[in-house]
Structures are given as structure tokens and as C-alpha cells.
């Protein structure tokens, strides 16, 4: 594979990861999990300066908003402020996103089990 092909592939992978993250963060649950995690990292003073310095300008703005509002509002309220794309721009690791997907899958499976139980009771 040539250098240009490697760069092209890397860009396509990054674009796919961003699209996945944007789709994931359209769900309230995923936004809540991500914001809670980002907020926990920002509460550590050593991480706060590094995060603000190394972030893109758009992410730095969202970090400052999160810092300011997290003192006043609960995570559930912050979720309503942050659009999915802004959370995707934080570029959480694939592992973090996958952990959120696992939690969502477990919730859906629980809902489906309850639904099956309720349908079975209706048939009786």
C-alpha cells in the first residue's frame, strides 16, 4: 500500500468513526453517558488544562460551556444543551463508544424480555 493509499484509508476510517459517533450520540442515553464521562475528566484540574489546550477550537468552546454549566446543572439537563455532533467532536475513543453501545444493547434486551413477558401474560 502506498503512503497516499494509507492516508486515504486513515481518513475514511476517521470519517466512518465520526459518522458512527454522531449517530450514537443522537440517543439521549449515549449523550448522557458521554457528558458524564467528559465532565468527570474535566473535574480533575490537571486534565482540564491539557484538554483545553489540546482541543480544536470548537471542542474547546464546548469544554468551556460544559465547565461553566456543570456547576449549575445536572447531567440530564446538560444533555439537552449539547447536540450530537458537538459530542462526536470530542472524539471519545472507540472503546468508550463501544461501552456505551453495550449498555444500550443491554437496556434494549431488558425491554425486549419485559415485552415478551407481558405478551405471554396477555395470551393467558
Residue 32 has pLDDT above 60, yes or no: yes
Residue 56 has pLDDT above 90, yes or no: no
Provide the pLDDT for residue 78. 78
Give the Å distances, CA to CA, from 64 to 11, 31, 49, 74, 96.
28, 17, 11, 16, 22
Q: Which three cell numbers stand for residue 88?
A: 462526536
CA distance 63 to 40: 12
Amino acid at each position: 500500500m502506498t503512503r497516499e493509499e494509507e492516508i486515504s484509508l486513515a481518513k475514511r476510517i476517521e470519517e466512518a468513526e465520526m459518522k458512527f459517533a454522531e449517530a450514537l450520540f443522537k440517543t439521549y442515553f449515549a449523550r448522557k453517558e458521554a457528558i458524564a464521562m467528559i465532565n468527570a475528566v474535566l473535574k480533575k484540574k490537571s486534565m482540564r488544562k491539557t484538554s483545553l489546550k489540546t482541543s480544536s477550537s470548537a471542542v474547546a468552546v464546548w469544554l468551556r460551556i460544559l465547565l461553566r454549566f456543570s456547576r449549575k446543572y445536572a447531567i440530564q439537563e446538560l444533555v439537552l444543551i449539547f447536540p450530537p455532533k458537538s459530542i462526536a467532536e470530542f472524539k471519545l475513543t472507540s472503546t468508550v463508544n463501544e461501552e456505551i453501545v453495550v449498555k444500550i444493547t443491554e437496556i434494549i434486551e431488558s425491554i425486549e424480555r419485559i415485552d415478551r413477558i407481558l405478551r405471554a401474560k396477555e395470551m393467558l
